[in-house]
Structure 1
């Protein structure tokens, strides 16, 4: 597999993470990580894939989320890789009868390993660069 092919596979992996989280597809999410993976961010650290899935269930208090993956720069060294990925994550929720939208400007710093030809996340660190929380303008379905 060429370096470009590996980098494309890594980009697809981080997009699959966003899709699994937004669709609350915890089985798909679990398949993206190694069993001993770590996911950490401001105020949380989940060690192991079971803890990651349990922790991500906390998104249930949002009616909808959308993670928009942007810049993704990966470095590949044989069967290991690292990347920094920019993301804007939108979270809709209700408070006092008002639908609100919490937006996060995120940078993920990731470590990956390729096992049997498939890339998996071994470590994901969520760095929160900014946030805003405003009443939603327009209809939310």
Structure 2
């Protein structure tokens, strides 16, 4: 994050008891100092404005606006829609989560699924026996592009219920036709239950 250096101009009034001439001289020097400070401030202000204009025009125009509060809410809802579509076996809702060229990568397992193959999951429409719980969102971006980092815990709903996966999502997002979608999701494994390691592809 860029930090702005704040500067303060401190004007000291020197009091002299050596006669009126010395006092007047001190006052004149103080006035000159104030005048110089004012001119310096004006020059700095002009330079700042010029720099801002140059920054806007250097790339052909102003930079895209940052994400709004509504964007943050929509992106968090996207994370929830991903989990519910997967857990409840809703193919139509799942297809709406990703862009047409979306990619999902399982980093530790060394594979990825993309495009239509990704958007066609889940195939059978049957609810899964797991619940994906995303938390701790960090969202950044501007315009129609964003990134999101989050933690995820997967809980098996079998009896007895237990945690079967803990990891992280690293997402690249894009706004398409007014809706945020996942362009690429990287899934990083922190821990996985050995009994379900072979079937992790069924619970991304």
Q: TM-score by structure 1 length?
A: 0.77
With over 3 angstroms needed to count, the CA separation of the structure-2 counterparts of 1:11 and 1:100, relative to structure 1, is: closer
Q: Which has the higher helix share?
A: 2
- In the alignment, the residues of structure 2 paired with residue 90 and residue 57 of structure 1 have an alpha-carbon distance, to the nearest angstrom, of 21
* Matched residue SS, 2:193: strand
Instruction: Confirm or deny that 1:115 pairs with 2:176.
Output: yes
Q: 1:63–1:112: structure 2 CA closer, same or farther, 3 Å change rule?
A: closer
Distance change in 2, residues 1:63/1:117 (3 Å):
closer
How many residues align? The count is 128
CA contact under 8 A between 2:67 and 2:142: conserved in structure 1? no
Are the aligned partners of 2:88 and 2:128 in contact in 1 as well (CA < 8 Å)? no
1:38 aligns with 2:99: no
Query: CA-atom RMSD, angstroms?
Result: 2.8
**Residue of structure 2 in register with 1:10 after alignment:** 75
Structure with the higher fraction of residues in strand conformation: 1
Higher normalized contact order (CA 8 Å, seq sep 6+, divided by chain length): 1
Q: Give the superposition deviation at 1:100.
A: 7.7
Moved over 3 A (4+): 53-58, 98-102
TM-score by length of 2: 0.55
